[in-house]
Chain A
């Protein structure tokens, strides 16, 4: 089993492809996750009593991009990913509580504050970028490229171009 470890990403990736096909065939749903973030954010804002209903964003397809769409297929899909990862990591004893990512600590040291700043700033870029491009690595990358969409191929390429350049700046030339 150990010697076959290199096969894992291919085998589980192919199974994920099969799962996507079944999801499209049975439920009529392609994978996607990123829209759930603006939906959750606007839902929380509504919850604390701030009314942003005047924004054009709230009017798109009767609020389809906001918390008004909850609960929907995608929300349950996103929750399921967390649950599935939890069950799978428990079953194989790979669940590991971590305070900071080891690779990040190697590069930036054990500084939680800096990690929080990177995460908030980066997270904003990720979500503004994903929603602007119309999808993330699941919506565009997996679902969109499987449909051979030109928009998705372009978006996925740009994800990696932006990521590779930024990683080079943050981590320097590959050495390890």
Chain B
């Protein structure tokens, strides 16, 4: 049943990504060149609706979750490496499969690179855990915990911030 849910969820997500045109190389690199903010609009919209729903479920006691552990070393170094590679290939791990689905066959090269990267990481794993993970390691911590405020206050602030950002994008035709 879990597998079935995974497939159905993936199909719907893939269709939404395709309809919003966020699977395209031009949209992804366009965002990084600061000339087309389509993927930022999509992601932020997903995050706002997602955070409201997830925290609502959590308040109702339906689900419980802990944010991924914070390690300044892992997220800063890993995040920067990801960003450099992202600009080079123009796809991220999820969108690359979607791009293949809509016919962009050249995405097989980035996919091959990411598979090799997955194997490379299997070898690097102990080093990252031993030397990089301890740098600024704070465990699972959410922004409301850090600020000591209600999660709804953070979500409202996020939504208001996004609204002004969206207005800026639309005014500047980004």
Given contacts A55-B125, A101-B106, A127-B117, contact A147 B41 (CB under 8 A): no
User: Are A34 and B46 closer than 8 Å at their CB atoms?
Assistant: no
Question: Closest Cβ of chain B: how far from A144's Cβ, in Å?
Answer: 6
Given contacts A27-B6, A83-B11, contact A122 B121 (CB under 8 A): no
User: Are A115 and B20 closer than 8 Å at their CB atoms?
Assistant: no
User: Are A176 and B122 closer than 8 Å at their CB atoms?
Assistant: no
Specify the chain A residue showing the minimal Cβ separation from B97: A82
Give the one of A55, A120, A136 with max B CB within 10 A. Answer: A120
Question: Closest Cβ of chain A: how far from B32's Cβ, in Å?
Answer: 4
Specify the chain B residue showing the minimal Cβ separation from A52: B122
Determine the distance from Cα of A73 to Cα of B5 in the docked complex, in whole angstroms: 7
User: Are B89 and A12 closer than 8 Å at their CB atoms?
Assistant: no
A84 part of interface (Cβ distance < 8 Å): yes
A143 proximity list for chain B (CB < 8 A): 50
Question: Closest Cβ of chain B: how far from A151's Cβ, in Å?
Answer: 4
B120 proximity list for chain A (CB < 8 A): 124, 127-128
B128 proximity list for chain A (CB < 8 A): 132
Question: Closest Cβ of chain A: how far from B79's Cβ, in Å?
Answer: 3
User: Are B50 and A163 closer than 8 Å at their CB atoms?
Assistant: no
User: Are B7 and A8 closer than 8 Å at their CB atoms?
Assistant: no
Question: Closest Cβ of chain B: how far from A29's Cβ, in Å?
Answer: 7
Q: Quick one: which of A134-157 are within 8 Å of B by CB?
A: 134-157
Which DSSP category, helix, strand, loop or mixed, fits chain A's interface? helix
Specify the chain A residue showing the minimal Cβ separation from B80: A162
User: Are B12 and A150 closer than 8 Å at their CB atoms?
Assistant: no
User: Are B88 and A80 closer than 8 Å at their CB atoms?
Assistant: no
Q: Quick one: which of B39-92 are within 8 Å of A by CB?
A: 39, 41-51, 53-55, 57, 62-63, 65, 67-72, 74-90, 92
A47 part of interface (Cβ distance < 8 Å): no
User: Are A144 and B68 closer than 8 Å at their CB atoms?
Assistant: yes
User: Are B54 and A147 closer than 8 Å at their CB atoms?
Assistant: yes
Q: Quick one: which of A152-176 are within 8 Å of B by CB?
A: 152-168, 170-171, 174, 176
Which of A16, A85, A157 is within 8 Å of B46, CB to CB? A16
B134 part of interface (Cβ distance < 8 Å): no
User: Are B62 and A76 closer than 8 Å at their CB atoms?
Assistant: no
Which of A78, A146, A160 is within 8 Å of B32, CB to CB? A160
Determine the distance from Cα of A103 to Cα of B39 in the docked complex, in whole angstroms: 16
Specify the chain B residue showing the minimal Cβ separation from A28: B63
Q: A87-B11, A121-B113, A127-B85 are in contact. List 18 more A-B contacts (CB 8 A).
A: A42-B119, A66-B122, A73-B6, A81-B11, A82-B97, A85-B23, A101-B90, A118-B88, A119-B89, A122-B84, A123-B116, A129-B77, A130-B93, A139-B68, A147-B65, A154-B76, A159-B82, A167-B87
Interface, chain A (partner B; CB < 8 A): 6, 8-21, 23-31, 33-34, 36-42, 44-45, 52, 55-58, 60, 65-66, 71-89, 92, 94-104, 115-116, 118-168, 170-171, 174, 176
Interface, chain B (partner A; CB < 8 A): 2-26, 29-35, 38-39, 41-51, 53-55, 57, 62-63, 65, 67-72, 74-90, 92-95, 97-106, 109-126, 128-129, 132, 138, 140-144, 146, 151, 154-155, 166, 170
